Amino acid sequence: QVQLVESGGGLVQPGGSLRLSCAASGSILSINAMGWYRQAPGIQRNLVATITSTFSTNYADSVKGRFTISRDNAKNMVYLQMNSLKPEDTAVYYCNAVIVDTTYTERNYWGRGTQVTVSS
């Protein structure tokens, strides 16, 4: 089995920073794209940022210049550095990864999410 576990969420004041981490574990053969999505109450889950296995990145317009996605392929980790946080960044942040397992099956996996609250 494969699982994704996020960490690093919390409460931060506007203008502050947080770093989210996501660890993939289990019967992993390879990991293709990884990414972060977020969902605020009453709103659909939306893309924040993605990164391919060759480190090509894509960001939502609302976070460009403030958030940075990165990954460590050796550790099966993906990170999201969030700077200049705004109250509208408040949401549950979900890790996502497209993973090929040891049966050579490719699936899309989600973590359980980590809460980020930006408030004074």
Structure confidence by residue, pLDDT tens digits, 74-86 = 999 999 999 999 9
pLDDT digits (tens, 9 = 90+) for 25-71: 999 999 999 999 999 999 999 999 999 999 999 999 999 999 999 99
Question: What are phi and psi for residue 89, nearest 5 degrees?
Answer: -80, -5
Check: CB of residue 36 under 8 Å from CB of residue 80: yes
Please tell me the predicted confidence (pLDDT) of residue 5: 97
pLDDT digits (tens, 9 = 90+) for 77-117: 999 999 999 999 999 999 999 999 999 999 999 999 999 99
Question: What are phi and psi for residue 87, nearest 5 degrees?
Answer: -55, -35
Length in residues, the chain: 120
User: For residue 41, how many other CB atoms are within 10 A of its CB?
Assistant: 7
* CA distance linking residue 111 with residue 35, whole number of Å: 11
Please tell me the predicted confidence (pLDDT) of residue 53: 94
Rounded percentage of the chain residues whose pLDDT exceeds 70? 100
Closest among 50, 47, 80, 52 to 66, alpha carbons compared: 80
* CA distance linking residue 95 with residue 93, whole number of Å: 7
